[in-house]
Amino acid sequence: MNATWRQRAACRGIDPDIFYPASDEEAEEAKAICASCPVHQLCLEHALAHRERDGVWGGLTERERRRVLRQRRKSA
């Protein structure tokens, strides 16, 4: 795994529980951090490539990532 982008992650040192909200509605705090993260695109692509199931990655919840994968399959 390429750990370089993780070292620049805005969520480093932040309580990881924030990134595993119980519902999409509770994901706003994590999304706000991701929005200012310099590596959010790399983080999102990592999550999509590895089919990360849980948590907020790259500013998207699990449900939102599934939607992105569906859209990419359609346009492939």
Query: Which spans of this chain sit near ligand SF4 (rule: CB under 6 A)?
Result: 9-11, 19, 33-34, 37, 39-40, 43, 56-59
Q: Residue 2: CB partners within 8 Å, gap ≥ 6?
A: none
**What is 12-51 written as a DSSP string?**
TTS-GGGGS-SSGGGGHHHHHHHHT-TTHHHHHHHHHHTT
Residue 60: strand pairing partners: 57
3 vs 76, which CB is nearer to ligand SF4?
Answer: 3
Q: Shortest gap between Cβ of 73 and ligand SF4 (angstroms)?
A: 23
69 vs 76, which CB is nearer to ligand SF4?
Answer: 69
Q: Shortest gap between Cβ of 67 and ligand SF4 (angstroms)?
A: 17
8 vs 70, which CB is nearer to ligand SF4?
Answer: 8
